[in-house]
Amino acid sequence: MDQTERTRVLSDLVKINSVNGNELEVANYLRRLFEQHGLTADVQPFGEQRANLIVEVGAGKPILGITGHMDTVALGDEKKWHHAPLSATIEGDRLYGRGAADMKSGLAAQVIALIELVESGTLTGHVRFIATAGEEYGTPGANRLEEAGVAKDLNALVVGEPTSGNVIYAHSGSYNYRIVSTGQAVHSSEPERGQNALEPLVDFALAERDLFFDVPDDPCLGPLKHSVTIIQGGEQVNTIPDYAELRGNIRPTMRFDNDHVTARLQAAVDRLNQEGATHLTLEVLHSWRPVASYPNGDFVKRALQASQEAFAKYPGHATPELGVIHGATDASVFVKHHHDLPVILLGADDWNISHQVNEYTTLSSFEATIEAYKRLIPAFFE
């Protein structure tokens, strides 16, 4: 493809409204694109407008997985956008639109690189392209694929999240939980007759501040990050509430993983229940595991070299480096039963542009990312 064709693919993807729960149109677009270039794509629908997509190129071992998600976050307040969020408007080097950075630029770059490698005859190994639904909330697509064993035979995985060309070799997990408190509702003029469901949650929130004080920093991911983010309860101001709930988010590390987090939270709940007339229960809402590869391993080194060589051709972009992030990705799902799977994140532009009004990707970074993939994929099989 020439640059105009590459940009058209990216623009077409950004113009499709694939807010979480509406990925089927993207999957069908990619299927048609692959078929136009002689490749077979397996669209796997689920729900009303949802789908995953798998493309197998080559056969045998080793197998390199490349993956990206097709959904985006909500469009946000369209009045605050300088351009309509689904317009894919181009101004200079920037293409604006919801999902331009996170992560339709990475998705398009992966697809284009794979097609161009096949058509040039320079791809001799086995590549599995995996496009998922629902990464932004709940990971239903990745969950279905992991349960079907799509990642169990992979030898390495490249995730196309936005990284500005940097090679991210580790990221934190993400752990959402809820504490439910039940009490006894009475009129607020006689609170001693009831049991205020909010008060034990206040006690928990105060205890949570120091709950992980003894957890050592992870060598690559740093400190465990944890926050209470929601407390809800009560129906009217003159009634003692009989139900309340608290929610929090924790970013597990390799040194203190999701199982350790659950044990620590449950111990805190048990302690508060034993100390007073409280009725607290813990519910794990979402549990993504941390992911880490060896920064000095061959896979990571080859990825960094490929990205540095590619981005060097596009002035104005910083030289790619190794790094870590504290967000989570579909990789957390794919390593669920494959803990030693080497994983990197490599994509266009900046993670910090994601989810914002006036989200954009730079076309130069998009082009550089395509070239980085075209270098990395063959290098993996050398």
Tell me, what's the pLDDT at 278?
86
Q: How far apart are CA 302 and CA 299, in angstroms?
A: 5
Which residues of the chain does CATH 3.40.630.10 include? 3-172+290-380
What DSSP string describes 331-371?
A: HHHHTTT-TT--EEE--SS-GGGTTSTT-EEEHHHHHHHHH
What's the whole-model pTM score? 0.91
Tell me, what's the pLDDT at 103?
96
In the DSSP assignment, the letter for residue 99 is: T
Tell me, what's the pLDDT at 276?
80
Q: What DSSP element (H or E) covers 202?
A: helix 198-208
Tell me, what's the pLDDT at 352?
82
Tell me, what's the pLDDT at 39?
98
Tell me, what's the pLDDT at 262?
98
Are 255 and 271 a contacting pair, CB within 8 Å? no
Nearest Cα to 349, choosing from 67, 180, 108?
A: 108
Evaluate the omega torsion of the peptide bond into residue 62 and state whether it is cis, within 30 degrees of 0. Answer: yes
Query: What is the CATH architecture assignment of 174-288?
Result: 2-Layer Sandwich (3.30)
Helix/strand number for the chain, H first, E second = 9, 16
Cα torsion for 98, 102, 103, 104, to the nearest 10°?
A: 20
Q: What are phi and psi of 72, to 5 degrees?
A: -130, 170
Q: How far apart are CA 258 and CA 288, in angstroms?
A: 8
Query: Could you say which residues of the chain have pLDDT below 70?
Result: none
Q: What is the pLDDT of residues 153-167, one digit of tens each?
A: 999 999 999 999 999
- Name the maximum alpha-carbon separation found in the chain: 80
Supply angle C-alpha 314, 320, 322, rounded to 5.
170
Q: Which fold has domain 3-172+290-380?
A: Aminopeptidase (3.40.630)
Which residues of the chain does CATH 3.30.70.360 include? 174-288
